Chain A
């Protein structure tokens, strides 16, 4: 079982729709969770982080964490073509120095 799993996609959504990106992780001791956006040929850019169960909203982005189900998601409201990118989920376990990444989900927002 992979430590951090994401559907590679591509996930296609129409402009203006809600894009839902999902991530599961295997280590129950994981304590912090990050979403990065990576445009083709560019480096990852931090979008959001979440530590506590529940929802965290920042503009058009909402991160959702369910530690019991070992599941974290990112919702993008009013999706724009500029949101088309690969979204990387990353998980950090308490006491460790390692940030473990998933392979990423490619999002395509179509006009």
Chain B
């Protein structure tokens, strides 16, 4: 595996379900990110982790819970979601959070909440 991988690629869940999204980066990076991309809206940064420590939390509802067990893995735990949470969830990584470091994206998880 190379780059940034995400599983599952597609997920359909009911509002009462609990599921998790997984991201893994094979680039030796120290920072990882979760973004939400909805139709006709810009990418929204959800969470930032640097060296496994959360450094940014953009007022995301508590029904989204991130976890970063090590610098290569990032999870997004989902529970009691709403239909408006349906979107493409993208994971990204960068060497670190310094201003000049570019971010590389995974393929995303297409989430549908029924």
Contacts and interface: CB of A to CB of B under 8 A. Distances in A.
Contacts of A71: none
Contacts of B99: 31-32, 92-96
Contacts of A88: 42-43
Tell me the interface secondary structure of chain A in the complex.
strand
Interface residues of B, number: 24
Interface stretch (B13-21, B66-74, B75-83, B100-108): B100-108
Q: How large is the interface on A (under 10, 10 to 19, 20 to 34, 35 or more residues)?
A: 20 to 34
Contact of A4 (B42, B58, B102, B104): B42
Given A95-B99, A97-B56, A98-B56, A43 B108 contact: yes
A101 B41 CA distance: 9
B102 to A, nearest CB: 5
A95 B31 CA distance: 15
A14 interface: no
B25 interface: no
Contacts of A36: 105
28 contacts: A4-B42, A31-B99, A31-B100, A32-B99, A34-B102, A34-B103, A36-B105, A42-B107, A43-B105, A43-B106, A43-B108, A44-B43, A44-B90, A44-B105, A49-B100, A51-B100, A93-B99, A94-B99, A96-B99, A97-B55, A98-B45, A98-B48, A99-B103, A101-B43, A103-B40, A103-B41, A103-B42, A104-B42
Interface of B: 31, 33, 40-43, 45, 48, 50, 55-56, 58, 88, 90, 97, 99-100, 102-108
Interface of A: 4, 31-32, 34, 36, 42-46, 49, 51, 88, 90, 92-104
